[in-house]
Amino acid sequence: MNILIYNEGVHDKEEWMKQIYPEGIHGALKQALDFDGNNITVTTLEDVEKVVTEDLLDKTDVMLWWGHCAHGQVPDCVVDMVHRAVLKGMGFIALHSAHLSKPFTRILGTSCTLKWRDDDRERLWVTAPSHPIAQGLPEHFELPREEMYGEYFDIPKPDDIVFMGWFAGGELFRSGCTFTRGYGKIFYFQPGHEQFPTYYDKNIVRILKNAVKWAAPMVRREQIGCPNSKPAEAGKD
């Protein structure tokens, strides 16, 4: 598979974060997805405009997106290209605070706002045990420290809710949700706050691997007449 990882890479430069993710969040994601000879490209806010091209996206099976404090700095031309690629069939995985990223809110079409609180304990429950993203996981597992994300999460009705998160403070959250837009499959996954080593957890790694396999395209087609199509491509299959 050809996998593209975007991590905005802003917090990653700070000393406190190097203690948790010495290679950045993108480094941990790359390590998690380094299986079956996957070809992995990494980009951060600094070079996203150079790295992400129509050509690269046409060859990308699944794109992962982690962002937090610099959503507004992502160029709209990149968001347009990513949106178009998803409609054509590219899988898209939005991680943690990417719920407010430009491509995710564009693809889903709602505000994607939620409640949040620092530092809690989370128990993730598998709520769709037959879903490919839940394969090989226990009925539930815990993350000793994770940021609380709570309902109401303003998303369109998901195709499947694969995981529900319960927090020690009492909140519930739809932590793992799937959607379909055009020919593309989308997975939103809540864990992954930058202050905790969530992306090294063995169950989380399992979910990321399952998710990229699930989200890889079965079909890729231009969306004819899609309002987001490039004018030159409109009408071309």
Binding residues (CB under 5 A) for Zn ion: these are 97, 147, 193
Nearer to Zn ion, 61 or 120 (CB): 120
Residue 161 CB, shortest distance to Zn ion, in Å, is 21
Nearer to Zn ion, 8 or 147 (CB): 147
Residue pair 9/46 in contact by the 8 Å Cβ criterion: yes
**Amino acid type, 207:** I
Q: Which pair of tokens denotes residue 92?
A: 């898209």
Residue 215 CB, shortest distance to Zn ion, in Å, is 22
Nearer to Zn ion, 97 or 101 (CB): 97
Residue 20 CB, shortest distance to Zn ion, in Å, is 12
- DSSP for 19-71 reads HH-TTHHHHHHHHHT--TT-EEEEE-TTTHHHH--HHHHHH-SEEEEE-SS-G
Residue 13 CB, shortest distance to Zn ion, in Å, is 17
Nearer to Zn ion, 142 or 233 (CB): 142
What residue is closest to Zn ion based on CB? Answer: 193
Backbone angles phi, psi at 62, to 5 degrees: -140, 135
Q: How far apart are CA 8 and CA 21, in angstroms?
A: 14
